[in-house]
Amino acid sequence: MPKKGIHPEWFDETQVYCDGQLIMTLSSTKKEINVDIWSGIHPFYTGSQTVLDTEGRVERFLKRYQISNN
């Protein structure tokens, strides 16, 4: 026989907020979830992420290990 009262309450309409804006509704053990970042605004997923090599790290690595950059 299963034990009663050991499982958390389940909410079918959990609202997820980012910066005060509702971004999605899902099911969870929490009634409301606040997140700092999500895929809709993360630079990796939006395509706005750029790779900067301002210090020449790649060139220094290639030079240090004598690797040809061809």
Higher pLDDT, 33 or 5: 33
Confidence of residue 16 (pLDDT cuts 50, 70, 90): very high
**What average pLDDT score do residues 49-61 get?**
71
What distance in Å separates the CA atoms of residue 19 and residue 35, rounded to the nearest whole number?
8
In a domain, 3, yes or no: no
Q: Which domain holds residue 44?
A: 11-64
- Give the strand order in the sheet containing 21-28: 21-28, 11-18, 32-35
Q: How many domains does the chain have?
A: 1
In a domain, 6, yes or no: no
* Three-state secondary-structure class, residue 51: coil
Q: Give CA 23 to chain center in angstroms.
A: 14
In a domain, 4, yes or no: no
Could you report the per-residue pLDDT of 31-54, keeping only the tens digit for each?
999 999 888 887 777 777 666 666
- Quote the tokens at residue 57: 């790290």
In a domain, 22, yes or no: yes
